[in-house]
């Protein structure tokens, strides 16, 4: 009679290699792969809270800067004085600079290129950076803004040194006297009242567009209406001319 021995069953442990093959790899993360996007973002925000706050602040700052920064405006070319220029200066290219300014700063009669101003003579001083217009040059531009029909009338004063007392823009009365101060007596006659001075030789004036000679001592140019211009034309041949500084007429 044979006897069979019973051996208890031993549970065999899986090898480390087999166990590792059944474990999910770190890159796959099957538990996170099945989560909705919101649940995946939550753990990341919890771990990187400071970084997220910094990114949000950067975005907010960029939006604020974009809203506050004005859109680039259009610009146009204009001529400006490159240095302080006295009245009477004959303009050279080195005296002027082309600048870019907003269109709203361009006045009527503004000059755009050196060719428009080269060789012209200033009727009034210019500060460095001041834009140049035809109203600041000897010539018809000086009559800009005067009533229609106005004329620019040159006058030679009897006392040339008195020209130093008047500047362009001032108002003067022009007085004619036929007396010589000795044996000849005659009443003075006011030929024009409160006429604006456009240019004077005392402001550094030289031969300009209106002057055919270099002898400018005692000369001034005033803006006059047709009636005043008729009385002033050739008045220096009838006697001596003087001026009186006056203020603006009462409103």
Spatial distance between the Cα atoms of 246 and 194, rounded to a whole number of angstroms: 7
Closest CA to 140 of 208, 85, 236: 208
Give all strands (DSSP E) within 90-208, no chain letters: 96-101, 151-156, 171-177, 189-200
Q: Give the number of other CB atoms < 10 A from CB of residue 85.
A: 21
pLDDT digits (tens, 9 = 90+) for 162-212: 888 888 888 999 999 876 655 556 678 899 999 998 888 776 544 444 444
Torsion of CA 84, 86, 89, 91, to 10 degrees: 20
pLDDT digits (tens, 9 = 90+) for 29-83: 544 455 555 566 667 667 777 787 888 888 888 888 777 766 556 788 888 899 9
What structural domains does the chain harbor?
74-137 (3.90.1210.10), 145-251 (no CATH)
List C-alpha distances in Å: 34 to 26, 37, 103, 245: 15, 9, 62, 96
Phi-psi region of 242 (alpha: psi -120 to 50; beta: other; left: phi over 0): beta
Residue 12, classed as helix, strand or coil, is coil
Q: Report residue 101's pLDDT band, with 50, 70 and 90 as the boundaries.
A: confident
pTM of the model: 0.54
């Amino acid at each position: 009679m044979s006897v069979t021995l019973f051996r208890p069953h031993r549970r065999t442990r899986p090898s480390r290699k087999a166990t590792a093959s059944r474990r999910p790899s770190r890159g796959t993360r099957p538990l996170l792969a099945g989560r909705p996007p919101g649940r995946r973002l939550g753990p990341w925000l919890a771990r990187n809270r400071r970084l997220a706050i910094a990114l949000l602040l950067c975005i907010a700052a960029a939006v604020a800067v974009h809203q506050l920064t004005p859109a680039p405006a259009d610009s146009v070319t204009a001529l400006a004085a490159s240095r302080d220029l006295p009245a009477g200066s004959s303009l050279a290219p080195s005296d002027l600079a082309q600048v870019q300014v907003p269109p709203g700063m361009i006045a009527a009669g503004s000059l755009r290129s050196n060719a428009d101003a080269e060789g012209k003579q200033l009727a009034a001083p210019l500060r460095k950076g001041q834009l140049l217009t035809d109203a600041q040059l000897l010539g018809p531009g000086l009559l800009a803004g005067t009533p229609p029909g106005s004329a620019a009338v040159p006058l030679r004063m009897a006392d040339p040194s008195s020209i130093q007392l008047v500047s362009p823009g001032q108002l003067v009365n022009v007085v004619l006297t036929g007396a010589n101060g000795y044996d000849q007596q005659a009443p003075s006659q006011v030929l024009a009242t409160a006429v604006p001075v456009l240019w004077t030789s005392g402001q550094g004036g030289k031969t300009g567009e209106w002057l055919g000679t270099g002898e400018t001592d005692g000369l001034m140019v005033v803006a006059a209406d047709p009636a005043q211009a008729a009385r002033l034309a050739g008045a220096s041949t009838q006697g001596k001319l003087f001026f009186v500084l006056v203020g603006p007429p009462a409103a």
